[in-house]
Amino acid sequence: MDVAARAGVSRATAAQILNHSGGASVRVGANTRARVLEIARAMNYRPNRIAQQLKGVRSKTLGVILDTVNIPVMYQRLAALERKASALGIRLMIGQVHQDPEVMSAYLHDFGSRGIEGLVCLFDLIRGYEKTLQPLFADVSNVVFHGKAMVNGGMCVRVDGQLGSYLLARRLIERGCKRIGWEFWSPDDEMGDVRRAGYEKALKEAGLPVEQRLLFYPEQRSQSPTPSGIEQALRHLIDREKCDAIMCSNDLWAVGLVQALKSRGLSVPGDVAVTGYDNLDVSAIVDPGVTTIDQNHEAYADAVIELIMNPAARGEGRVTVTPELVVRQSA
């Protein structure tokens, strides 16, 4: 009202210009629009989004919760989500919780009080963590989880991890590898079971034995490998089991193993082929470049936004994204 009075226009005209509303029912000339915007800037006017929501105006804001597991990949996924949201005029509010249920609860209450239209949960479910979190999400609506819906009525977007590992194992088999070792950062990550199923499927199809001793889990559970973890992997998979290929849980482990193998005087992929997972930037710049899986973050972001913003297109509320094999020199 104050801006309209100073600009000498009606309240409806000022509202259309400042809130991008009103449609064709109120026609505004370019000079009038420029005058109103200039006066609004001089008065430091900003629309009150909370007040608008009380009148039924959509917030066009989504909440995003990040956790600390697999952060490099989740940051890439978040970037793709932000690009998609920005193109649609949607803003993101982001919280990182560090596997702390109390912080998670605080963010859920905060986001809810700000009128978000939906919530995106970008974190993997570690065994036991799910039961702790379920009560917190019991009354949260329009939420998309990563991997699987954690509560009844929840939605989810997942990347087909079984297919990703299957594609990598099949690539190694086609290269003639016979003893394919498998490193995964933690046996507690449920995605490990999914991806191992793809690895085992490819071995069985090729008539190769599935051997438990070719599986390696580091003593220190970390997605970022330590020097001791790399050495443990080499002792187990190379020295003891004589593997001619290693499938790694992510690109960081793959790069670490490539460098360690080279320091031992072994060639990659001549003596030992290595694959990663996630298609991080480092996988392309290391020598040799790492064969890996791209998780198709753009398709993931499209699916998340569609589920939250378009109820008519939800179906069962579950979307599976197809990953892509990226072939480089390491395998």
pLDDT digits (tens, 9 = 90+) for 39-92: 888 888 876 665 555 555 556 899 999 987 778 899 999 999 999 999 999 999
Between the alpha carbon of residue 66 and those of residues 71, 100, 119, the distances in Å are: 8, 11, 11
Residue 83: the pLDDT is: 96
- Confirm whether 186 is domain-assigned: yes
Please check whether residue 192 lies inside any domain of the structure.
Answer: yes
The pLDDT, as a whole number, for residue 3 is 87
Q: Are residues 168 and 290 in the same domain?
A: yes
Q: What is the pLDDT of residue 313?
A: 74
Q: In this structure, what CATH number is given to the domain that contains residue 14?
A: 1.10.260
105 and 86 share one domain: yes
**143 lies in the same domain as 173:** no
What distance in Å separates the CA atoms of residue 150 and residue 38, rounded to the nearest whole number?
49
Q: What is the pTM of this model?
A: 0.80
Asked if 270 contacts 65 with a C-beta cutoff of 8 angstroms, the reply is no
290 and 303 assigned to the same domain:
no
Residue 123 lies in a domain: yes
* DSSP type of residue 189: B
89 and 192 fall within a common domain: no
Q: Is 180 exposed, middle or buried (0-12, 13-18, 19+ CB in 10 A)?
A: buried
DSSP 329: T
pLDDT of residue 14: 84
Tokens of 89: 């005029």
- Domain residues for 90? 61-160+297-323
Tens-place pLDDT, residues 109-142: 888 888 888 999 998 766 667 788 888 888 888 8
Total of domains in the chain: 3
Of 151, 218, 155, 153, the closest CA to residue 184 belongs to 218
Report the pLDDT value the prediction gives residue 24, as an integer from 0 to 100: 44
- Residue among 294, 277, 291, 292 at smallest CA distance from 80: 294
DSSP string covering 72-130, please?
HHHHHHHHHHHHHHHHTT-EEEEEE-TT-HHHHHHHHHHHHHTT-SEEEEE---BTTHH
Q: Are residues 76 and 182 in the same domain?
A: no
Looking at the fold, whether 259 and 185 belong to one and the same domain comes out as yes
Which pLDDT does position 331 carry in this prediction?
A: 96
Q: What is the pLDDT of residue 23?
A: 47
Q: What is the pLDDT of residue 18?
A: 80
Residue located via tokens 């996924």: 77
Q: Which of 164, 144, 177, 176 is nearest to 303 (CA)?
A: 144
Q: Which of the residues in the chain have pLDDT under 50? A: 22-25
> Per the domain annotation, does 328 fall within a domain?
no
Residues 171 and 256 in one domain: yes
Q: Are residues 98 and 135 in the same domain?
A: yes
Q: Is 52 domain-assigned? A: no
CATH number at residue 176: 3.40.50.2300
